[in-house]
Amino acid sequence: MSTPEGPRRVRVTSPRTSAARRPPAPTGTREIDEQTRLGEIYMHSLVQSQLRLTLAVIAGVLVILGSIPLLFWLVPPTRTLLVLGLPLPWVILGILVYPVVYVAARIYVRQAERIETEFTEFVGRQ
């Protein structure tokens, strides 16, 4: 009995396998991964940008919320003013503070994402 021969196997290779390989171009992400001096500078830049944003948002919130006691001190009738049957200080501290904090948080998140996107695009181009 003879065994039937199946289809012959063919090995497919790329025509460029024998071509000289170029070393990969240095990128910013590689600099960061390898913790080179340039990578440290990139990361320091990112951290500084995030720190500036954080301090700006905190300062803005402190100015807005810090002005509430100043308002009550400079304008004494506001301490006893009623709004919808509630004292104005309660309305401000119990209700109006939350939208201020929410808006500050939204601003922070949007700007932090923008900073990270710009950083990623910049490092990817390097």
pLDDT at 22: 64
pLDDT digits (tens, 9 = 90+) for 94-113: 989 999 999 999 999 999 99
Whether 103 and 9 have beta carbons less than 8 Å apart is answered as: no
The answer as to whether 13 is a domain residue is no
The answer as to whether 11 is a domain residue is no
The answer as to whether 99 is a domain residue is yes
The answer as to whether 14 is a domain residue is no
The answer as to whether 56 is a domain residue is yes
The answer as to whether 18 is a domain residue is no
The answer as to whether 82 is a domain residue is yes
The answer as to whether 68 is a domain residue is yes
pLDDT at 27: 74
Residue 101: give the domain boundaries.
Answer: 28-125
Q: Which residues are bridge partners to 86 per DSSP?
A: 83
pLDDT grade for 58, boundaries at 50, 70 and 90: very high
Whether 39 and 33 have beta carbons less than 8 Å apart is answered as: yes
- Total domains in the fold of the chain: 1
